């Protein structure tokens, strides 16, 4: 059943001994000041957030989290600087309910009974979640029709603007494989593809994508999120199987492999 839970959340991240946290003292005995919902979910704010907006039932979130079984077994642990993008609909019911109570920056502990795991884990789970960001569903950029004045443009005609600075220093090379999250729109605002909406990061060799991506990815560092305006000649011009005209992509470079 535990394996089914891991498949459900679409995660398979490794655990490292040096990073393993100890089980909380209240693992099997929630404190009196914890919040108790009518369906049996119990939660407690461990540290308050700075945001005001809460995720909705269809939101896509960037989180860090730790999962324990009631006997103290550590199931999974995603710690800083790592994060995971996961949609609320992809979470087990009790986890999704708890996350919808949170604001950005908050860390909350949830005691989730067996029924609130959707019947996946009979003994229940305890999950600590840090809500880093509400990332979706992705909204159509206001500047989707054309690059803004503060965008940079390369000699090839590729325009780009950094939306969030990265934490890495190295840039991908054409021979590297990269892990990314992205969403793409045509200039009339129609989204045609999004790894964020699928809830799965994409992984591919840099030299295996359209020319605008090949050039753009090599400008980025890990952790960076950038918007690209890719002219047709660097996208799918002459290829009727792809979207036509200038394309706009928001790309987050998660990892260079």
Q: 120: domain CATH number?
A: 3.10.50.40
Instruction: Give the pLDDT of residue 233.
Output: 97
Q: Is the residue at 141 inside a domain? A: no
In angstroms, the Cα distances linking 80 to 133, 248, 250, 255 are: 14, 30, 23, 14
Instruction: Report the distance separating Cα 26 and Cα 46, nearest Å.
Output: 12
Instruction: Give the pLDDT of residue 199.
Output: 76
Summarize pLDDT for 18-39 with one digit per residue, the tens.
468 999 999 999 999 999 999 9
| pTM score | 0.68
Instruction: Give the pLDDT of residue 120.
Output: 86
Cis amide leading into 226 (omega within 30):
no
Q: Is the residue at 142 inside a domain? A: no
Summarize pLDDT for 51-103 with one digit per residue, the tens.
899 999 989 999 999 999 999 999 999 998 888 889 999 899 999 999 999 99
Identify whether residues 188 and 233 lie together within a single domain.
yes
Identify whether residues 11 and 117 lie together within a single domain.
yes
Of 179, 176, 185, 163, residue with least CA distance to 235: 185
Q: 146: part of which helix (H) or strand (E)?
A: none
Q: 246: domain range?
A: 152-256
Residue spans of alpha helices (H) in the chain: 2-9, 93-99, 195-198, 211-217
Identify whether residues 69 and 130 lie together within a single domain.
yes
Q: Is the residue at 143 inside a domain? A: no
Q: What is the mean pLDDT of the chain?
A: 91
Q: Three-state DSSP class for 59?
A: coil
pLDDT at 111 over 90: yes
Identify whether residues 50 and 101 lie together within a single domain.
yes
Q: Three-state DSSP class for 174?
A: coil
Q: Is the residue at 89 inside a domain? A: yes
Identify whether residues 128 and 18 lie together within a single domain.
yes
Contact residues for 47 (Cβ-Cβ < 8 A; gap 6+): 106, 107
Summarize pLDDT for 117-176 with one digit per residue, the tens.
998 899 999 999 999 999 888 889 999 999 999 999 999 999 999 999 999 899 999 999
In angstroms, the Cα distances linking 204 to 97, 209, 236, 245, 249 are: 34, 8, 18, 23, 16
Work out how many domains the chain is built from and give that number.
2
- Dihedral angle, C-alpha 160, 50, 85, 253, nearest 10 °: 30
């Amino acid at each position: 059943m535990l394996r089914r839970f891991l498949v459900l959340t679409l995660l398979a991240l490794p655990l490292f001994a040096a990073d393993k946290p100890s089980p909380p003292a209240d693992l099997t005995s929630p404190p009196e000041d914890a919040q108790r919902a009518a369906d049996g979910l119990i939660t407690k704010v461990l540290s308050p957030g700075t945001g005001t907006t809460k995720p909705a039932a269809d939101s896509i979130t960037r989180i860090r989290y730790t999962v324990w079984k009631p006997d103290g077994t550590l199931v999974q642990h995603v710690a800083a600087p790592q994060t995971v993008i996961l949609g609320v609909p992809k979470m087990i019911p009790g986890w999704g309910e708890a996350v919808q109570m949170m604001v950005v920056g908050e860390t909350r502990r949830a005691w989730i009974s067996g029924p609130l795991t959707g019947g996946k884990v009979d003994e229940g789970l305890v999950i600590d979640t840090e809500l880093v960001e509400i990332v979706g569903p992705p909204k159509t950029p206001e500047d989707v029709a054309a690059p803004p004045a503060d965008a940079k443009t390369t000699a090839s005609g590729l325009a780009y603007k950094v939306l969030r600075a990265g934490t890495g220093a190295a840039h991908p090379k054409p021979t590297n494989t990269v892990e990314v999250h992205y969403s793409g729109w045509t200039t009339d605002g129609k989204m045609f593809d999004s790894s964020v909406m699928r809830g799965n990061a994409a992984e591919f060799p840099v030299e295996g994508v359209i020319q605008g991506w090949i050039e753009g990815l090599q400008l980025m560092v890990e952790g960076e999120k950038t918007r690209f305006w890719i002219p047709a000649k660097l996208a799918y011009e002459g290829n009727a199987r792809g979207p036509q005209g200038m394309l706009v992509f928001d790309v987050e470079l998660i990892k260079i492999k």
